[in-house]
Structures are given as structure tokens and as C-alpha cells.
């Protein structure tokens, strides 16, 4: 259990007055009578874009460019005021790209409408490289062979079997079915 301690002992815990009185950089940037202080926003954007730990990029306000798992920050019009939001992680994007929902740092969920969003920055979710299905060299041509289409549509032999039963089991395997459905594959 975390207990508040004086700053000289632990500067990570919140102030004695609690989190609600902690001034985060979103509040600092929005310190111009509740609206964005342009100089502070520009300083923060310069810091974001130059920080080597992260790969922030500013994108057009086109929500179809967002994918679940992307990290976002944005500016918006809220209650008639132009404000900066620290955002969070995209959960869902409307199929017509009119809004998106994100999970904030506080674990609450928020939605953003495209007509109110003015600028947006994103760190793309890292994607795993596609796995390539590997088939072993099928050996000499036999009576019972299995074929898969290559990227040019030509049939390539990927298996040579001793019986129809063994060939059918191979062709019903998940690996063969994935390759048949279009996943990348190769022969070694």
C-alpha cells in the first residue's frame, strides 16, 4: 500500500491533497482560462516529436487512419473551448470514421467526434511480423501428391504421400488450410 511521504523522501506519490489537486501537463497546457496556451502546446509538441523513446506523428484528422491499440493525443473543442487532451489507447473506430473510443490513463473510456477534433498525434501499435508457414521439401513425386497455388497462381507440390488417407489427413491439417486460404508459405 502506497502512503504519501514528503517530496524529499519520495517524489512519486501524489501530494497530500490527493490526485484531484495534482496539476498534470494537460491542465498546464490548458491554463489559458481553460483553453490551450499555444506556447506551452508548441513546446510540448516539440518535446513529443523529438523524444527518441517514442515515435509520435501528427496525422490528418481522419479517424480511418487509426487502429485499435494506437496511442493518441489530440486537441478538440469541448464546451466551446479549444483544449488539449493527453488521450490514451484506441479501443474502437466507427466504421464510417466519424468517432473513435479510447481508454485513458485512468482506465476510463472516452469518445472523440471527428467534427470536434482539430489535431491528432499517434504512436502506431507495433505489429507482429507475419508468420510464414513452412513446408518441408516434398521429396520425389509419388502417387499421392498435395499442391498449393504460389503467388503467381501456379500449383506447387508441397507433399508426396504413400496413401490417399495420409494425403487427405495432411490436406485437412490447419497449416495446409491456412496456406490454401492465402497465408504466406514457403518450402525449405
Distance CA 170, CA 188 (A): 17
57 in a domain, yes or no? yes
pLDDT band at 119 (very low <50, low <70, confident <90, very high): very high
Distance CA 183, CA 188 (A): 16
Instruction: Return the higher-pLDDT residue of 139 and 15.
Output: 139
Taking only the tens place, the pLDDT of each residue in 20-54 is 555 677 888 888 888 999 999 999 999 999 988 88
100 in a domain, yes or no? yes
Helix (H) / strand (E) element for 158: namely: strand 155-161
Q: What is the mean pLDDT of residues 168-172?
A: 96
Please return the burial class of 136, using the count of CB atoms within 10 Å of its CB with bins 0-12, 13-18 and 19+: exposed
29 in a domain, yes or no? yes
| 34 and 97 inside one domain | yes
pLDDT band at 107 (very low <50, low <70, confident <90, very high): confident
Taking only the tens place, the pLDDT of each residue in 51-100 is 888 899 999 999 999 999 999 999 999 989 999 999 999 999 999 999 99
| 106 and 64 inside one domain | yes
List the beta bridge partners of residue 103.
89, 109
| 84 and 44 inside one domain | yes
Domain end residue (candidates: 89, 123, 157) = 123
| 31 and 112 inside one domain | yes
**How confident is the model at residue 28, as a pLDDT?**
86
Taking only the tens place, the pLDDT of each residue in 172-181 is 999 999 999 9
Distance CA 160, CA 170 (A): 10
7 in a domain, yes or no? no
Mean pLDDT for the chain overall: 87
**8 A C-beta contact, residue 167 and residue 159:** yes
**CA torsion angle for 142, 186, 132, 152 (degrees, to 10)?**
-110
List the beta bridge partners of residue 85.
74
Q: What is the mean pLDDT of residues 153-170?
A: 94
Q: Is the model's pLDDT at 146 over the cut of 60? A: yes
Domain end residue (candidates: 73, 89, 123) = 123
45 in a domain, yes or no? yes
- Nearest of 125, 124, 126, 101 to residue 111 by alpha carbon: 101
Range(s) of the domain holding residue 100:
19-123
**How confident is the model at residue 10, as a pLDDT?**
45
pLDDT band at 11 (very low <50, low <70, confident <90, very high): very low
Domain end residue (candidates: 82, 99, 123) = 123
| 96 and 169 inside one domain | no
75: domain CATH number?
2.30.30.520
**How confident is the model at residue 63, as a pLDDT?**
95
Q: Is the model's pLDDT at 15 over the cut of 60? A: no
Per the structure, how many domains does the chain have?
A: 2
166 in a domain, yes or no? yes
174 in a domain, yes or no? yes
**How confident is the model at residue 77, as a pLDDT?**
93
Q: How far is CA 158 from CA 86, 139, 146, in A?
A: 52, 9, 6
114 in a domain, yes or no? yes
Q: Is the model's pLDDT at 4 over the cut of 70? A: no
Amino acid at each position: 500500500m502506497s502512503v504519501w511521504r514528503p517530496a524529499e523522501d519520495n517524489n512519486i506519490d501524489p501530494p497530500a491533497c490527493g490526485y484531484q489537486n495534482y496539476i498534470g501537463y494537460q491542465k498546464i497546457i490548458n491554463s489559458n482560462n481553460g483553453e490551450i496556451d499555444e506556447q506551452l502546446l508548441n513546446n510540448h509538441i516539440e518535446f513529443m516529436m523529438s523524444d527518441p523513446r517514442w515515435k509520435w506523428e501528427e496525422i490528418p484528422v481522419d479517424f480511418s487512419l487509426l487502429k485499435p491499440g494506437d496511442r493518441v493525443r489530440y486537441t478538440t473543442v469541448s464546451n466551446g473551448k479549444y483544449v488539449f487532451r493527453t488521450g490514451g489507447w484506441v479501443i474502437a473506430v466507427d466504421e464510417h470514421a466519424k468517432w473513435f473510443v479510447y481508454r485513458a490513463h485512468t482506465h476510463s473510456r472516452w469518445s472523440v467526434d471527428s467534427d470536434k477534433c482539430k489535431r491528432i498525434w499517434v504512436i502506431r501499435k507495433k505489429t507482429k511480423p507475419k508468420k510464414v508457414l513452412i513446408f518441408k521439401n516434398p521429396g520425389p513425386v509419388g502417387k499421392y501428391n498435395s499442391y498449393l497455388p504460389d503467388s503467381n497462381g501456379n500449383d506447387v507440390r508441397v507433399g508426396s504421400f504413400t496413401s490417399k488417407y495420409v494425403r487427405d489427413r495432411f490436406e485437412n491439417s490447419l497449416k495446409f488450410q491456412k496456406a490454401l486460404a492465402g497465408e504466406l508459405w514457403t518450402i525449405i
